Every structure is written in structure tokens, then in C-alpha cells.
Amino acid sequence: MLKLVLCAAASASATIEWRGITATIKDRSILRAVGGQAKAGRLHAIMGPSGSGKTSLLSALSGTCDRRLKLSGDLRADGVAVDKVEGAYVRQQDVFYPYLTVRETLTFAATLRLGPDADVPTIVDSILMKTGLAKAADTIVGDDKIRGVSGGERKRLAIACELVDDPDVLFLDEPTSGLDSFAAQRVVASLRTLCDAGKTVVCVIHQPSGGVFAAFDDLTLLSEGECMYHGPICDLDARLRKEGFPRPRTAAPAEHAVETVSVNYGSPETEASSREVLAKLSDACKKAERPLPAATPAKTKATAKGPRRRPLAELRLLYQRARRDVSRAKAATAIKAAQQVMTALIYGGIYDLDDSQRSIQDRFGLLSLCVIGATNLAIASTIRAFPKEKTIVQRERSPRSGRPMYGALPYLFSKVAAELPLSVGLSCLFGGILYPLAKLGRTTRKFRRFLGLTALNSVAASALGLLVGAVAPSTDAALAMFPPIIVLMIIFNGSNISDESTPKPIKFLPKLSLVRWGFEGLAVNEFEGLEFKPFTQIGRPSLKTGADALTRLSFEDSTIKRTAVAQGAILGACYFQTYRVLKNARPRYATLKRATVVDDGIRWTADAEARLQKIPGFVRGRVRGAAEKYARENGITTITDEVFVALKPKK
């Protein structure tokens, strides 16, 4: 569907120019009036010491800055003033489905982004060639634990995935970090190929080798949030020499540049002298900066919003991916199966149930262990794996423009459908071994119900694990939430504390405990119709039937249906909440306030300027003068709405 939108973010930009990019957080300046430009066909590096603001500048240009930052400045894409430059953003750490091959990963991205009419195989082949991944095309991607393609190939895959819809601009955050110099050179060679094809490529680089640095055309050198050099790399040495910092013969150009602009905190004297160097280079940089001409008016243009969403096709594709991921994770599946077999053998070896009075307690104990074990395993394994997958889903669902690549609902459906058979299978494997060994139930009907209830418990516990993984910001946070959740569920399992003793404010908790419903269902199934031999000792009270035993735990009114419905309700609620979290979990970024009016070195953001314009003409000039005086006295280069409001100008 084509929709007319105001072009506030450039989509087909080739030359990016920026002036006065300022970023602050609370009262701390992170970028101070940084200017520069990146051109199509030229490979642009952003370099500087650690903490100098490289990533902040890259994200300010690409519109992906942490929203706690206050951003302002004048950003142009092909002469049009924009809030952000629309382009692909390749993060430092990219995660993929480890069991998919490079080709499958790319094909998946291309099919979903481009829709059914695109010639996906041809596009994928061409990208594989451009990024030098043709040889690794049929190797699985892998990760830290699973052997797959090399680190350099994985970085190139991250770039390749962003190329499927042919963006004009690419932003990359440290694409060479963590790679040896050969792998880094291959990554940069791929970027060179893209530049030669007319793309604008802007990269943050960190400690580049001589070969890598030489492959770049232009450089923005930052220190302490200020621009120290901006221009062609071939002029860098000459500029530093001119300012009194010639490069020693033994030093590599990149190393010398970063060292020159690094603050030496060794002593107050060295720090002061470093700051003099920075001031000198920053002044030289500002002098060389040419003001931008008046911005070309933003055009109203037809912008494609991406292919129309087709939930069924998405579901099919997502299901294929999830199935492949599950079916190829053979080692992980084997470990889980071995866990189930071992646990069943241990329980089966210890418990030997008959119709004696002692077997009542043994039965309750064994059933409780079965439920706790299954719940534990299902939640823990989901919690461990899901936060990582969530990162992939969030990345894929945060589009550069238009709609997300796919909906949260097809994703969740496909994941559940792909993982369900394994969950049920593992649960049945456990039950199939344990049931005859421990001599539980002894009727086929009870056995079938046992398998059904334990499988339902596992699936519901996985759903809870998904929800915890979805709301937790990281795997560590999710794992930290796990113990209190499981402990609470065990406390309220129906046999550890009575309803009467449960404190009033948390009386609802037993109703939410999967362990309780699972245990109650298994107990009702097991004890139904059983009869027990009385104690032989005279005077020792005995329980004659299974119903008596259930009454002891206040389960006398319970039915299997009731416990299954309760578990089903918890499962449904967990899936629904997970869906909502995934649907709404979009990264929110800071908006660049446009500062397009330049007056005597002080810039005004558009909203501050708009506020100023509301002041009657005869007072406006005085207010403007007072605001700029205040800004100069306080080292403020851009007057934002907040600064202006803080001044409380008198009308």
C-alpha cells in the first residue's frame, strides 16, 4: 500500500550533513555541537578514544539514540532537514538463530521484508556475493556455544541482512571489533564494495589496523564529545602536523590520531596540557566547518510502507524457521531427553507403590516431585533461551520504516506450535518410564490421564517461562526472577500450607500456582477408586480409600477437569500477556530537535524558535538577545525549548 507521508526522515539519501549535533543527559554533555558530512560512495569512519561519543553520534544520525538523551542539531539528508537519516543500522552485537544456515537466515529476512513478488533467491545470491559470504552460505550461523561460521562471517551476515531491501545508507557500530586483522579487513572490503555501488557507509571503528584504516575515505575524529578533525583521511597527517602534532615515524596514523586527542589523566599538569591540545584542534575544526545553506523544503512524496502483511504466510515462514531451530538442536534435545529418563529412573527406582497405608504418603510425595520437576525444567529452559530470541524478534520487528517484518501473533503461534511436540514428547517419555516402574495407577485410563496432565503442566510452565523471559530485560534478570516464582508455587502446592493459614493479602496466590493445580490433578487421578489395607497395629488410625486420602489435603471436591481448566487458564493468560509484551516492546528513541536557525554561533531548536515567535515583535528581539547572552555565558551552544523555558523570558 502506498501512502503519502511527509518526508520527515529521509529514505533515499546519499549525502548526509550535520551541524551542531548536541546530546546531553541530565546536565552532562555527550556531544557538543559536532559537525560533519558523509557522502555516497565514500567510506566514513567515526573514531576517537573510548567514551568520546562515537556511538552517540552514530545513533543521533540514524535516529536510534537512547531516549533519555536530549538531542538537537541540524541534520540534512540530500539537503533536506530531517530528524534522522533512514538507513540500515548494524549493531555491535547481533544475534541470530544459531541453527539456521547463512542462506536460510538471509532468505528469511528477504522474504518477509520484500514480499512474495520479489525474486528472493537472486537477491540473496547477489548479497552473498557482495558480502563475500558465498562460500559460507550453507554453514549454520552458530553462536558462542554452537560451532558455526566465523566471527567475521557473522559480522558480514549482520550487514548482509540489512542489505535485503537495498538501503542507501548504512550505519555500523564497530563492525570490526573482536576480529583479527584479516577478518576485519574482509569486513571492511565488503563495506568498500557497498560504497563502490554508491551507498553511504558510516562506521564507528575502534583501534583499526593500518590496512583497515587505509580502506576508509573520510574521518570524524571525536574527543570528549567534540569534533577534533573532520575530512578526508589522506589530509589527517597534514592537519595534525599543521597544528603542531606531527606523526612519529613509528606510529600508525589511526593510533597517532587517537593518542593525540586522548586526555592524559596522569597528573593535573598533563590533563591541562591535553585539554589545551583538544581546544586547539576543536577550534581548528570549527573554523574549517562551513555553514550549511538553507535547507531544501521537505517534499511530500510517495513512500512505500513495505509489502502488505499476510499473517498466514508469515505464520508459515515463522513456523518453518522455528521448526528448523527445534529439529536441528539435536544436542540440546538429547540432553533434555536424558534428563527426563534419568529422573524417571531415579524416582522409579526409589518408589515402589502398593496398597499399604505408607504408600499414601509415598504417592503424594512422588506426584508432588513429578510436578515440581516438570515445572522447574520447563520454566528454566524457556527462561534461559527466550531473552536471546526476544532480542532477534525485537530487532526484526523494529522496522526502519513502515510496518514490522511480521506480527507478534504469528510469531508466538509459530513458536508454540513448533515447540509443543517436543514438550509433550519429553513429558510422555518421563511418564512412560516412571509409571510402570513406580507402579502408579495401574489402569490405562489413569496412565493416559497422567500423561495428559503432566504434558499440560509442562506446556503451561513453558508459557510462564516465556512470559518471564518476555518481561525481563535480560537473561540474568529472568534467571533472578525464577527462584522466587518457583518457591512461591511450591509453597502453595496444596499440601505445604492450608488455605486457612495463607495470609489474606496473598490468598489469590494458590490459585496461580501451576505446581498446585498440577499436583491436585495428578492426586485426584491417582487416588480415585483406590482402596488401602489398614495398619496392622491396633489403634493406629488408617485411611481406607483414596477419597479419604484426598480429603486429608482438602482435595475432596476437586476434579481433574477443574485442575485442567485452571492450568489451561494460566497457560492462556501467560500467552496473552507474552503477546502483549512482544507487540508493544518496540525500542523508543530520542528525537532530534531541529536547530536550523544559526545566529552568531548560537542555534535555536525549532520548538524554542516557535516559542520565541509567539512573543510580540517589539519584545522578541530583546528576549532573543537575552537568551543568547545567557547561552554564551553558560557555554550553551543550542537553545532548546527546555533552556528557553528555564530562562523564563518576560513578555
- Contact footprint for ligand ATP (CB under 6 A): 25, 30, 48, 50-56, 66, 68-69, 206
Residue recorded with cell 496473598: 506
CA dihedral (641, 644, 650, 651) in degrees, to 10, reads -40
Query: Rounded to whole angstroms, what are the CA distances from 378 to 346, 413, 484, 508?
Result: 19, 18, 16, 23
Nearer of residues 207 and 475 to ligand ATP, judged by Cβ: 207
Nearer of residues 51 and 121 to ligand ATP, judged by Cβ: 51
* Minimal distance, residue 94 CB to ligand ATP, in Å: 16
DSSP string covering 7-52: -SEESS---EEEEEEEEEETTEEEEEEEEEEE-TT-EEEEE-STTS
Element holding 221 (H helix, E strand): strand 218-223
Tell me how far apart the terminal alpha carbons of the chain are, to the nearest angstrom.
48
* Minimal distance, residue 165 CB to ligand ATP, in Å: 27
What are the grid coordinates assigned to 85, written together?
537519516
Instruction: Please tell me the distance from the alpha carbon of residue 351 to that of residue 340, in angstroms, as a whole number.
Output: 16
Nearer of residues 36 and 307 to ligand ATP, judged by Cβ: 36
Residue recorded with cell 534428563: 339
* Minimal distance, residue 502 CB to ligand ATP, in Å: 43
- Partners of 232 in beta bridges: 218
Instruction: Please tell me the distance from the alpha carbon of residue 94 to that of residue 109, in angstroms, as a whole number.
Output: 14
Nearer of residues 67 and 242 to ligand ATP, judged by Cβ: 67
Nearer of residues 203 and 564 to ligand ATP, judged by Cβ: 203
Nearer of residues 133 and 258 to ligand ATP, judged by Cβ: 258
Nearer of residues 49 and 151 to ligand ATP, judged by Cβ: 49
Where b means 16+ CB within 10 Å and e means fewer, 291-316 reads ebeebeeeeeeebeebbebbeebbbe
Residue recorded with cell 552458530: 142
* Minimal distance, residue 49 CB to ligand ATP, in Å: 7
* Minimal distance, residue 203 CB to ligand ATP, in Å: 12
Q: Computed over its alpha carbons, how large is the radius of gyration of the chain?
A: 32
* Minimal distance, residue 69 CB to ligand ATP, in Å: 6
CB 222 within 8 A of CB 228: yes
Nearer of residues 45 and 564 to ligand ATP, judged by Cβ: 45
Nearer of residues 164 and 590 to ligand ATP, judged by Cβ: 590
* Minimal distance, residue 642 CB to ligand ATP, in Å: 17
Pick left, alpha or beta for residue 266 (phi over 0 → left; psi -120 to 50 → alpha; otherwise beta): alpha
Instruction: Please tell me the distance from the alpha carbon of residue 222 to that of residue 78, in angstroms, as a whole number.
Output: 24
* Minimal distance, residue 44 CB to ligand ATP, in Å: 15
Nearer of residues 66 and 628 to ligand ATP, judged by Cβ: 66
